[in-house]
Amino acid sequence: MTGLLYALLSLGTFALLAGIVLAVAQKVFYVEGDPMVDKIDALLPQTQCGQCGYPGCKPYATAVASEGEEVNHCVPGGERTMLAIADLMGVEPKAVEQEAAAPMLAFVREDECIGCTLCIKACPVDAIIGAPKQYHTVLADHCTGCELCVEPCPVDCIDMLVKPELIEHWSWPLPETRRSRLGHERREHHAGHA
Amino acid sequence: MPAMLRNLAQRLGMMAHSFDGGIHPSDHKLGAGLHSEPCPLSPVHILPMKMHIGEACLPLVAVGDRVLRGQKIARSEGYVSVPVHASTSGRVVRIEEYAIPHPSGMGMPSIIIESDGDDASDDSLEPITDWRNTDPALLRERARMCGLAGLGGAVFPTFIKLVQDSRFPIETVVLNGIECEPWLTTDHRLMLEYADEILTGLAIIMHMVNTDSAIIAIEDNKSDAAEAIEQALALRDDLEGARVVLLPTRYPQGSEKQLIYSLTGREVPAGKLPMHIGMLCQNVATARALYRAVVRAEPLTERLVTVSGDAMPRPANLHVRIGTPMRYVFAQQGLTDFEDVRILHGGPMMGELLRHPDVPVVKSTNGMLAMLEASFMGGHTQEQACIRCGHCSEACPAGLVPNLLADQCRSDQFEKAESYDLFDCIECGACSYVCPSNIPLVHYFRYGKGQIAQQRREKSFAEASRLRSEAREMRIERENQARAARRSSVRKTHAPAAESTAKTDAAGDSAADKTDEGSKD
């Protein structure tokens, strides 16, 4: 009888201690938000363009992480982003439906701008400056090319231009040998079916 | 000799230090015996807004302006930059994008000057003959003002290196007269013909970084140059701490980190600069340019260029004005037909293949080579499988494993390539040179480095965009809260007559919203 009592007591004490440790750990190591969301968000190109059907990159990341949304909806991110997210989530990669266009840049034709500030409000990354009844202009260094400013403009004075290629950003292409091309293609093929 | 034995012998001082790897390409130094001569003045000069590593310059002149030789025509933007000077007197005829010597074949905004033939100089700059008693900071400003950039080929702004930093005091100045690239003979000729100017330049450098020890490093295939320097050195009494060191001829001996190791047995850590181990490297041509800038008040408007190659009728070492079209320089030496000729900017190992000769001579132009199509390394288009012979690893002066790195770069495994120290590659091309399978190894590394750089750029752009978008959302949130607070306070003041004022209240609110938004923008 006492043997049973000892066993109950010691196990009970142990369980109590473990419970306290767990309770404390839960408070001390509490993680705010879903870490997966941030990880996916970090892989997205942050254009905030909404082409995925969500109002920005973070909402799409949240949907992928917790609502089981497909990984292939990010258009500007292209295949590389899709593969990275699929790899992170541990799901099958899916083909990207829409080809990513060349990087674009919004440009305000200033003499036609009426200074309505509508594009300024639409810009998700605060890349347009101006004041009411003053010309607006796009900060080329910050524009993500999301096109969200084009539609609200009442006088259609915003053009989307292809981002000029800078000589500083030029990089060497893959050497033009048959072998290098084959090797590269094989790798891409494998990556697609990883 | 096994590497371990060699290492031990070097440590015990029984054997001179020498960097690992390296190759012995045949040197083809056709111009070594040719006295340097001035290149005739070209009718036009094209001056790109960036001829150095760093930020581009902004033009200070307008179309139609008259300029003098040595006049500053573009000011530098940012710290890592040096201004651009007119290389002869004349008139600015255009400011537009012009092709520059770059593997991309792309252009750069350039100032195009039509020379008037007078070649009148701008002499607003005062010579500093008493540089020994001049504040190094002033000399440093002079080096920047005169547009000096490393003339060995890397064109890093010279003034940045010429600094006294109390954290990293410079113990030894290394004057680089190695010139290990085949074909090139500019440093060789400079040492033979301008030994005294080079040594004065060295003395100025030593004064600027406050050291009295210097090594002038020369490869043993240029023993006549070493003799010339020794003789000039013997005649001077101000350079007692300087000595000439003759090193065995081996490519890439002239690479900064390899050279320092050969001279001192000390390695510059990865990602660090020679100054972090108390060394300063300058090319002999840069030392001479510094002498000219300080003592003769001449901005950098001219440099010695080796014009050579197996398709070149008359090889030469020419003093060419910066901005002279290469087609004009080639024509002076009898080359006008560019069919079946490939043009290289710089040496054959690290130089760039140019698409056409309609580019200007820039500060980094140490050589212009016209090579016959037939003798050009066309073999690289027939890349074969790696046979794991290991020659590339033996040749690599940075101690990397090129065949592995090439595999990783070819298949876009960039993280892996980085962990195998892709960025320690100096792109010397020794691995490609020895590869029996014709694998263009160094091109794979350039591709890999470029892709990684682009990914980093995209990443940092995405991060900046994310921060901006978050800041915007927070601001909108704040504004909404402020609006809501105002609305509720308005309601409270009108509380007794809430029913009747509800309509005007809403109108007042929307008006308040409008002014609020207006002030925000």
Euclidean distance between CA atoms A100 and B403, whole angstroms: 33
Q: How far apart are CA B168 and CA B210, in angstroms?
A: 12
Partner-chain contact A167 B107, CB within 8 Å: yes
pLDDT above 80: residue A120: yes
CATH topology of domain A38-89: 3-methyladenine DNA Glycosylase II; Chain A, domain 3 (1.10.15)
In a domain, B50, yes or no: no
A157 among the known binding-site residues? no
Domain residue ranges of chain A, discontinuous segments joined by +: 1-30, 38-89, 104-166
Residue B270 lies in a domain: yes
Distance in Å, alpha carbon of A11 to nearest chain B alpha carbon: 50
At B3 the pLDDT is 66
Give A105's Cβ-side CA count (13 Å radius).
13
Asked if B436 and B389 touch (Cβ cutoff 8 Å), the reply is yes
Place of tokens 């040595």: B70
A62: chain B residues, CB-CB within 8 Å: none
- Lowest mean pLDDT of A181-185, B253-257, B446-450, B488-492, name the range: A181-185
CB contact under 8 A, B447 and A175: yes
Question: In the prediction, which pLDDT does B377 show?
Answer: 60
Q: What is the pLDDT of residue B500?
A: 46
- Summarize pLDDT for B105-119 with one digit per residue, the tens: 899 999 999 999 999
Band of residue A19 on the pLDDT scale cut at 50, 70, 90? very high
Taking the CA of residue A9 and the nearest CA in chain B, the distance in Å comes to 54
CA–CA separation, A156 vs B513, rounded Å?
26
Q: Which residues of B touch A (CB under 8 A)?
A: 100, 102-104, 106-108, 380-385, 407, 410-413, 440, 443-444, 446-447, 449-451, 453-454, 457-458, 461-466, 468-469, 471-472, 517-518, 521
Q: Does A46 touch chain B (CB under 8 A)?
A: yes
**pLDDT tens-digit series, residues B375-390:** 776 555 678 889 999 9
The answer to whether residue B292 is domain-embedded is yes
How many CB pairs lie under 8 A apart between chains A and B? 105
- Whether B115 contacts B89, CB under 8 Å: yes
Within a domain: B364: yes
In a domain, B396, yes or no: yes
pLDDT > 80? residue B310 = yes
Chain B residue with the nearest C-alpha to that of A124? B469
Q: Mean pLDDT: which of A10-14, A62-66, B237-241, B469-473 is highest?
A: A10-14
Residue B201 sits in the same domain as residue B218: yes
Residue B140: name the closest of B195, B208, B53, B92 by CA. Answer: B208
Pair B272, B364 in one domain: no
- B137 and B283 in a single domain? The answer is yes
Average pLDDT over residues B266-274: 91
- pLDDT of B2 > 70? The answer is no
Of A144, A178, A183, the CB nearest to B410: A183
Instruction: Identify whether the C-beta of residue B144 lies closer than 8 Å to the C-beta of residue B82.
Output: yes
Residue at B304 is within a domain: no
Tell me the pLDDT band of B94, cut-offs 50, 70 and 90. very high
Residue with the bigger pLDDT between B425 and A164: it is B425
| Residues B375, B389 within the same domain | no
Cβ proximity of B279 and B174 under 8 Å = yes
**Peptide bond just before B252 cis, omega within 30 deg:** yes
Q: Based on the domain organization, do B360 and B489 belong to the same domain?
A: no
Task: Select from B46, B153, B399, B414 the least CA-distant residue to A171.
Answer: B414
Q: Per the annotation, does B396 bind a ligand? A: yes
pLDDT number for residue B14:
62
What percentage of residues in chain B have a pLDDT greater than 70?
91
Chain B contact present for A117, CB below 8 A? yes
Q: How confident is the model at residue B509 (pLDDT cuts 50, 70, 90)?
A: very low
pLDDT value, residue B11: 66
Per-residue pLDDT at B417: 95
Rounded to the nearest 10 degrees, the angle between the axes of helix B136-145 and helix B195-209 is: 130
Q: Are strands B90-99 and B66-67 parallel, antiparallel or unpaired?
A: antiparallel
A116 is in an annotated binding site: yes
Q: Find where tokens 């910066």 sit.
A: B322
A149 assigned ligand-binding residue? yes
From A185-189, B107-111, B363-367, the region with the lowest mean pLDDT:
A185-189
Question: Which residue's structure tokens are 């005294």?
Answer: B196
In this predicted complex, what is the ipTM? Answer: 0.80
Q: Where are the alpha helices (DSSP H) in B235-361?
A: 256-264, 284-295, 326-332
Structure tokens given for B513: 């919203």
For residue B272, tell me if it sits in a domain: yes
CA distance B106 to chain A (A): 7
Domain co-membership, B240 together with B136? yes
Per-residue confidence at A181, pLDDT binned at 50, 70, 90? confident
The reply to whether B497 and B412 lie within a common domain is no
- Within 164-193 of A, beta carbons closer than 8 Å to B belong to 165, 167, 169-180, 183-184, 186-188, 191
Greatest alpha-carbon pair distance for chain B in Å reads 105
Average pLDDT, integer, range B498-513:
45
CATH number at residue B151: 3.40.50.11540
Structure tokens at B46: 């094209």
Sign of CA dihedral B407, B408, B410, B411: positive
Rounded to an integer, what distance in angstroms lies between the CA atom of residue B416 and that of residue A181? 20
- Which of the four pLDDT bands, split at 50, 70 and 90, describes residue B503? very low
Given a cut of 90, whether residue B57 has pLDDT beyond it is yes
Based on the fold, state whether residues B238 and B169 are members of the same structural domain.
yes
Q: Are B439 and A176 in contact (CB under 8 A)?
A: no
Is B146 annotated in a binding site? The answer is no
Which of B226, B186, B433 has its CA nearest to residue B308?
B186
Render pLDDT for B119-175 as a digit per residue (tens, 0 to 9).
999 888 999 999 999 999 999 999 999 999 999 888 999 999 999 888 999 999 999
Residues B333 and B442 in one domain: no
- Is A144 within 8 Å of chain B by CB? yes
B167 and B20, same structural domain?
Answer: yes
Would you state the pLDDT for residue B504?
A: 46
Would the CB atoms of A131 and B521 count as touching at under 8 Å?
yes
Nearest chain A residue to B382 by CA distance is A177
Facing B443 at nearest CB: one of A48, A144, A175? A175
Q: What pLDDT does B515 receive?
A: 42
Smallest CA–CA distance, residue A68 to chain B, in Å, is: 23
CA nearest to B255, candidates B158, B153, B102: B153
Query: B226 and B270 in one domain?
Result: yes
Task: Please judge whether B466 and A46 are an interchain contact, meaning their C-beta atoms are less than 8 angstroms apart.
Answer: yes
Identity of the residue in A125, A130, A180 whose CB atom sits nearest the CB atom of B410? A180
Preferred mutation among A167, A170, A184 to probe B, highest tally of B CBs within 10 A: A167
Segment A133-158, tens digit of pLDDT: 889 999 988 998 888 899 999 999 99
**Is the model's pLDDT at B213 over the cut of 60?**
yes
Q: Rounded to an integer, what distance in angstroms lies between the CA atom of residue B284 and that of residue B225?
A: 12
A194 touches chain B (CB under 8 A): no
> Any idea what DSSP says for residue B131?
G
Mean pLDDT in residue range B193-212: 95
Most confidently predicted of B46-50, B369-373, B383-387, B517-521: B46-50
Residue A180, judged by CB atoms within 10 A of its CB (0-12, 13-18, 19+), counts as buried
Q: Is the pLDDT of residue A49 over 90?
A: no
Say whether pLDDT at B214 is over 70. Answer: yes
Q: What is the pLDDT of residue A192?
A: 58
Domain count, chain B: 4
B386 annotated as a binding-site residue? yes
Three-state DSSP class for B44? strand
Confidence of residue B15 (pLDDT cuts 50, 70, 90): low
Please state which of the ranges A91-100, B199-208, B351-360 shows the lowest mean pLDDT.
A91-100
pLDDT confidence band for B402 (50 / 70 / 90): very high
Q: Look at A177 and B450 and tell me if their CB atoms are within 8 Å.
A: no
Instruction: Label each residue of B58-112 as H, E or C.
Output: EECCCCCCEECECCEEEEECCCCCCCEECCCCEEEEEEEEEECCCCCCCEEEEEE
Question: In angstroms, rounded to a whole number, what is the distance separating the alpha carbons of residues B287 and B190?
Answer: 11
Asked whether residue B268 is assigned to any structural domain, the reply reads yes
Contact A125 B469 (CB under 8 A): yes
Residue in B110, B383, B387, B514 to test binding to A, most A beta-carbons within 10 Å: B383
Q: Nearest CA to CA, how far is B454 from chain A (Å)?
A: 7
pLDDT at B521: 39
Whether B410 sits inside 8 A of A176 (CB atoms) is no
**A74 annotated among ligand-binding-site residues:** yes
Tokens of B348: 């054959």
Assigned token pair, A125: 């990354």
Average pLDDT, chain B: 89
Residue B510, pLDDT > 70, answer no
Containing structural domain, residue B361 = 320-379
From B410, B458, B464, residue closest to A184, measured CB to CB: B410
Query: What percent of chain A shows pLDDT beyond 70?
Result: 97
- The pLDDT score that the predictor gives to residue B502 is 46
Please name the residues between 51 and 90 in chain A that touch chain B, using a CB distance below 8 Å. Answer: 56-57
CATH architecture for residues A104-166: 2-Layer Sandwich (3.30)
Q: Which residue has the tokens 């060497």?
A: A172
Which residues of chain A make contact with B417, given a CB cutoff of 8 A? none
Domain boundary among B329, B352, B379: B379
Residues from chain A contacting residue B435 (CB–CB below 8 Å): none
pLDDT tier for residue B508 given thresholds of 50, 70 and 90: very low
- Domain match, B233 and B334 both: no
